[in-house]
């Protein structure tokens, strides 16, 4: 066998290969750290941006959510790009985009320049959200795949914590996020510029890890795949693993977006419009999503709702595999419970109910630390209790805590249009918000990324993960861009998030299958080939 792990007892091989796989997964997960940093850094700058550029709530919501539009684009393109040039090159491209975004956003003198380069950073976020879970799943031994896959979420929440801690520190040093700090630049600009450091680290470390063995086999680089698998898995079952990967890919054509749709049944008669929709499915979906976003941006909510309904209708006609719908459902519910409202708007949210800027920063940092701690709990449990039980427990906890917040904010007296949380209401709301983060952090945060990385068959993994991540970012954008308008109706907002948590419980119970202990080559065989469906 070539390269990697030397001889010795099987347990030594297993231990050594596990450490190697963990190191490789940790580097890949740095994309998640940048993902979290880029997503949360805007929190510390929200108030300063609105003051600096004198923008209204609608423009502020668009500026905050603009990165999410780029993330949807990045997620949609990452899978195909990764299949074309490899997982490592895609990581390097993402690192370069993160770097460019950090620099220009930090020095931009116009809100629309900042928006454009937030979108550029968002493209990098979308790429990282697809490539990290796919790469980690493809390079991890089965026995620890869940734990290593959870590193993506640990990196994301760590990135959120770092961004919030940096924002808090810079604002404290400067005396406020809109105050001048160094080199004539305000503190909020240095919050964006701080992303340069992790972007450089991610790009440089991407040169130190191997290419995905499944990508190498797919591109007929078998000797190189054998060396990588030896390094990552040890010599145990090496040839069996290679043979199974080859078997899952041998009879297949090059991956295509059309692989995500069921083939038409043999002998079935289908109308010309349906055939046309299936042929141009991905162009139609992309166009309708862009139109929906444009309508939201213009304040035409009814028209945007029509476009989103058309997206769902076209996707249904397009005949997506059931497992692709499950991936989309997981992605959308992960965002519709409102988790990112906590991290994008928590400063202005807590200020709105009576806390000053410094206290709001402190609360947000504590919340992000809670998120990290609960993600570590999920990492410890995911390969022991499984993915589905964690999701069910998390949905229950989120429904209870969000329902509590809906009642508190919905019944609070209004003063100057803002809810006033007097007596025990303030502490209860604070505890409920942090318990919501606990419920999310031990379940839907890490588990969804693990499932998306492993639930799809080899043939459609990159494309399906890209589509699911694009759905996630679109849902994230919808929640984020609508929240500024809902700040005056917090009871209604949290009531909607609580309803989504209840629906997520039903969805998981009914549709999500356990993937614990399964080989990637065994995932949902009905979508592996172009065999006509006979049902």
Place 27 in a pLDDT band, splitting at 50, 70 and 90: confident
Six-digit token string for 476: 């994230």
Out of 146-160, 213-227, 314-328, 519-533, least confident range: 519-533
Q: What is the DSSP letter of 320?
A: B
Q: What CA–CA distance (Å, rounded) separates 508 from 18? A: 31
Place 498 in a pLDDT band, splitting at 50, 70 and 90: very high
Write down the pLDDT at residue 100: 92
pLDDT top residue among 212 and 276: 212
Contact (Cβ atoms closer than 8 angstroms) between residue 230 and residue 139: no
Q: Across the strands, what pairs with 415? A: 418
Q: Across the strands, what pairs with 261? A: 320
Nearest Cα to 22, choosing from 116, 125, 146, 106?
Answer: 146
Q: What CA–CA distance (Å, rounded) separates 383 from 148? A: 10
Q: What CA–CA distance (Å, rounded) separates 370 from 468? A: 27
* SS3 track for 369-383: HHHHHHHHHHHHHHH
> Which H/E stretch holds residue 182?
strand 180-182
Six-digit token string for 4: 């990697």
Write down the pLDDT at residue 262: 53
Instruction: Give the tens place of pLDDT for each residue, 42-100.
Output: 777 777 777 777 777 667 767 777 777 787 778 777 877 887 888 889 989 999 998 99
Helix axes 490-511, 387-411, angle to 10 degrees: 160
Radius of gyration for the alpha carbons in the chain, expressed in angstroms and rounded: 23
Q: What CA–CA distance (Å, rounded) separates 268 from 304? A: 34
pLDDT top residue among 473 and 101: 101
Q: What CA–CA distance (Å, rounded) separates 518 from 456? A: 12
Instruction: Give the tens place of pLDDT for each residue, 167-199.
Output: 888 888 877 777 777 877 788 788 889 889 888
Write down the pLDDT at residue 351: 65
Nearest Cα to 161, choosing from 405, 438, 364, 456?
Answer: 364
| % of the chain surpassing 70 pLDDT | 72
Q: Which regions of 379-494 does DSSP assign to beta strands (E)? A: 414-415, 418-419
Q: Report CA 116 to chain centroid distance, whole Å.
A: 21
Q: 426-446 burial, b for 16+ CB within 10 Å, e for fewer?
A: beebbebbbbbbbbbbbbbbb
Instruction: Give the tens place of pLDDT for each residue, 68-77.
Output: 778 777 877 7
Q: Across the strands, what pairs with 185? A: 182
Q: Are strands 185-186 and 414-415 parallel, antiparallel or unpaired?
A: unpaired
Non-local CB neighbours of 429 within 8 Å, separated by 6+ positions: 353, 404, 405, 408, 409, 421
């Amino acid at each position: 066998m070539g390269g990697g792990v030397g001889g010795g007892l099987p347990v030594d091989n297993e231990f050594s290969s596990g450490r190697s796989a963990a190191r490789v997964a940790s580097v890949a997960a740095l994309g998640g750290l940048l993902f979290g940093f880029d997503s949360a850094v805007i929190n510390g700058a929200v108030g300063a941006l609105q003051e600096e550029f004198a923008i209204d709530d609608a423009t502020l919501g668009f500026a905050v959510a603009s990165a999410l539009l780029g993330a949807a684009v990045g997620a949609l393109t990452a899978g195909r790009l990764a299949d074309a040039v490899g997982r490592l090159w895609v990581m390097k491209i993402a690192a370069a985009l993160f770097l460019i975004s950090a620099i220009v956003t930090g020095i931009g003198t116009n809100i629309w320049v900042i928006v454009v380069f937030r979108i550029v950073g968002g493209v990098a976020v979308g790429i990282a959200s697809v490539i990290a879970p796919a790469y980690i799943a493809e390079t991890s031994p089965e026995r620890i795949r869940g734990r290593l896959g959870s590193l993506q979420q640990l990196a994301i929440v760590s990135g959120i914590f770092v961004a919030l801690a940096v924002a808090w520190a810079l604002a404290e040093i400067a005396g406020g996020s809109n105050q001048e700090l160094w080199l004539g630049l305000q503190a909020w600009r240095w919050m964006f510029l701080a992303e340069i450091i992790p972007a450089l680290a991610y790009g440089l470390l991407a040169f130190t890890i191997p290419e995905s063995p499944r990508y190498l086999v797919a591109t007929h680089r078998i000797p190189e795949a054998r060396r990588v698998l030896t390094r990552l898995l040890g010599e145990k079952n090496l040839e069996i693993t290679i043979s199974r990967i080859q078997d899952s890919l041998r009879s297949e054509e090059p991956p295509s977006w059309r692989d995500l749709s069921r083939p038409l049944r043999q002998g079935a008669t289908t109308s010309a419009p349906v055939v046309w929709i299936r042929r141009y499915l991905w162009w139609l979906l992309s166009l309708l999503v862009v139109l929906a976003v444009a309508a939201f941006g213009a304040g035409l909510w009814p028209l945007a709702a029509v476009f989103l309904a058309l997206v769902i209708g076209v996707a249904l006609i397009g005949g997506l595999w059931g497992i692709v719908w499950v991936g989309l459902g997981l992605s959308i519910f992960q965002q519709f419970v409102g988790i990112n409202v906590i991290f994008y708007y928590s400063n202005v949210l807590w200020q709105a109910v009576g806390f000053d800027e410094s206290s709001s920063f402190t609360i947000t940092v504590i919340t992000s630390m809670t998120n990290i701690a609960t993600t570590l709990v999920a990492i410890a449990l995911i390969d022991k209790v499984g993915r589905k039980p964690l999701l069910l427990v998390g949905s229950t906890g989120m429904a209870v805590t969000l329902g509590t917040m809906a009642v508190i904010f919905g019944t609070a007296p209004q003063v100057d249009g803002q809810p006033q949380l007097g007596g025990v209401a303030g502490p209860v709301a604070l505890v409920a918000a942090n318990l919501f983060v606990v419920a999310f952090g031990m379940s839907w945060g890490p588990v969804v990324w693990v499932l998306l990385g492993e639930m799809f068959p080899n043939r459609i993994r990159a494309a399906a993960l890209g589509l699911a991540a694009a759905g996630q970012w679109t849902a994230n954008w919808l929640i984020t861009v609508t929240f500024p308008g809902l700040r005056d109706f917090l009871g209604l907002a949290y009531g909607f998030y609580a309803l989504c948590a209840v629906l997520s419980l039903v969805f998981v119970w009914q549709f999500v299958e356990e993937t614990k202990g399964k080989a990637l080559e065994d995932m949902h065989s009905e979508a592996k080939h172009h065999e006509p469906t006979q049902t």
